[in-house]
A and B are shown apart, each in its own frame.
Chain A
């Protein structure tokens, strides 16, 4: 029996950064729906999105045994292979995200072809976000992966991480800070738009993620011997990382902070200390969650 673990941390980095790109793009669309008050946030998100996805893809390419052949995946395909779908989804998404970023920077994203790029990009973003999970869940013999909860866990984690990175970049680059004041200034400048409470967005996503993770773990714990074996393997070898990193730091604390912040509109602004700290926690937790699931899922229960 071959005990080689084929996919190392470079694959996690790709899944994480790819997820960040997906989340950032969806945040840009979300911010756009709130009008001009989030123009700066939209810009940051739109720029981060293709940069993150491309960086992730670089790691993935250098994880290949034959990096120079990566381009052949565009003309050699296999309709049954989820990875093959991913090649086209990611290629399409990168192109759309770059075009969208350029349009946003030129403030042309709401006119002409901008609308088409936006919605098509949104579709591809969801596609790529789901692809990450399906790539893993399509492996029948990987008990931790081969279930319906996994793509949801990965997708929601991606969206959370994407939002978090944009919020963090917004906070550390002063010119990009979108606070109550800048939002008010934009509004005073005659622009239209309304505000959203970032904490509320986080609460909804974190609650969905926590519930799905719980459902997933419960199903594994009460599953067949492969499921029980793999869950035990995960908890025995990555227990601290899982409970402390992925669950407490990545989900529970951000949820608590977000609920605490919900009481005040100011604390819910992108750029407030609370949302920035929450963003850092979500990023750490998101990475750990994906890495633990990826590493532990590759270990198979003995065949006999």
Chain B
């Protein structure tokens, strides 16, 4: 069985944020929720300044604290080393959100994609409401991606959490996660840690790397190389 991981080459990353947008499209991620995200900061004082940009996503940790915390087994590790979530089991206790050091698990406080169910018109009797537009489609909302529903809820309902699945629906079809596919500079590399000839292993043996929050004992599987 493969043990999937991701390597992010910070030297190639231009900080464009295409990964974050692509992820939203692919996974029908609602407003305020970011499966693929980034941390950025500027430090120093002119002229000695430095801008840092680190794309983030679920680390699919080997020792996932969210999986340990989940009381009903909704958050689980699959046979491919991915950390996945089952919304039909989730009770919305948020123990995983509390346990997760990375802030990559989000809770659906409201009905997702609410705009398309909203009756309010932007300008009364002049513009149409979100609901009027939304009802013309047989999908939950116009830009809905039905592929997502192959392995996870197409849209995760109110009251449960949701997170990155490393695009397990694409992986099953032999494709790479959509953020990897969409990265214009090829900064993201996806592969099997257990395969010595995989691209991720080649990069990890060629360069030194760091992972986020290594001191928490989570053994994260998103590796960052070539920090500059």
Contacts and interface: CB of A to CB of B under 8 A. Distances in A.
Interface residues of A, number: 34
Interface stretch (B68-76, B125-133, B193-201): B68-76
A3 interface: yes
A84 B104 CA distance: 22
A244 interface: no
Contacts of A69: 90-92
A232 interface: no
Given A2-B103, A7-B98, A65-B90, A73 B72 contact: yes
A83 interface: yes
A141 B213 contact: yes
A82 B69 contact: yes
A303 B109 CA distance: 25
A61 to B, nearest CB: 9
B217 interface: yes
A169 B161 CA distance: 41
B106 A4 contact: yes
Given A1-B103, A81-B69, A139-B98, A304 B54 contact: yes
Contacts of B212: 303-304
A220 to B, nearest CB: 16
Contact of A6 (B39, B73, B91, B97): B97
Contacts of B101: 140-141, 300, 303
Contacts of B216: 140-141
8 contacts: A1-B37, A1-B103, A64-B92, A72-B89, A78-B70, A141-B100, A141-B213, A304-B39
Interface of B: 34, 37, 39, 52, 54, 56, 65, 67-73, 89-95, 97-109, 158-161, 212-213, 216-218
Given A7-B94, A66-B160, 17 more contacts: A1-B39, A4-B97, A4-B103, A64-B92, A65-B90, A65-B107, A66-B91, A66-B92, A73-B72, A73-B91, A77-B73, A80-B68, A83-B71, A138-B69, A138-B99, A142-B98, A303-B213
